[in-house]
Structures are given as structure tokens and as C-alpha cells.
Amino acid sequence: MQMNVREKSKVVELWLTREEKNDPEFRESLKPIYQQYKAQKYLVAVFLSGEENLYEQTRDLLLYNRRRSAEKEVQRQKEIQMQMEPVMTQ
């Protein structure tokens, strides 16, 4: 497990390995950490190791976001053009 305490944002990150995430006893042993930081008004975020290929998943997410951003820009340009058309015909 890796634990990062972010004082400025009052966030505690717990990064669990595959073995740790699948170990009920280990997960139960984290409860005192949750309680300790909750009492200090911290948000405790637990990140679980995944089963998928990180490179491929990240690449796909970035490609999707790039495509979606381009689609939104095209839509915005169309809206601007539609707003300008009535002005140009007068």
C-alpha cells in the first residue's frame, strides 16, 4: 500500500495493490486510518489496482476526450454561425 497525505487539500490517498484489494483482513485493517483522518476532516480516497492494461485504457480515454473536444468545438462554431446569419441577411 502507498499512502499520500495531502495537507493542503486535506485528502489522504491510499493506493492498494491487487493482493491488498482482494484481502478482506487487510481491507478491515484500514478502518482505523479512515476514522483517524475523518476525525481530522480529511477525505480518504482509496484507489484499487485494476485488471486492465493501464497504457491502453489511458490512451483510449485521451483519444475519446480529444474527439469529444473537437466535436464540441465544431458544434460551438455552428452555433456562432447560425447566430451570425440573421445579422448578415438584414
* Angular region, 52: left φ>0, alpha ψ -120 to 50, beta rest: beta
3-state secondary structure of 50: coil
3-state secondary structure of 87: helix
Tell whether the model's pLDDT for residue 5 goes beyond 80: yes
The Cα diameter of the chain in Å comes to 74
Q: What is the pLDDT of residue 90?
A: 57
- Taking the CA atoms of 58, 51, 4 and 6 in sequence, report the sign of the dihedral they define: positive
pLDDT 10s digits, 26-75: 999 999 999 999 999 999 999 988 788 878 989 999 999 999 999 999 99
- By residue count, the chain amounts to 90
Q: What is the pLDDT of residue 87?
A: 61
**Where in the chain are the domains?**
1-50, 52-90
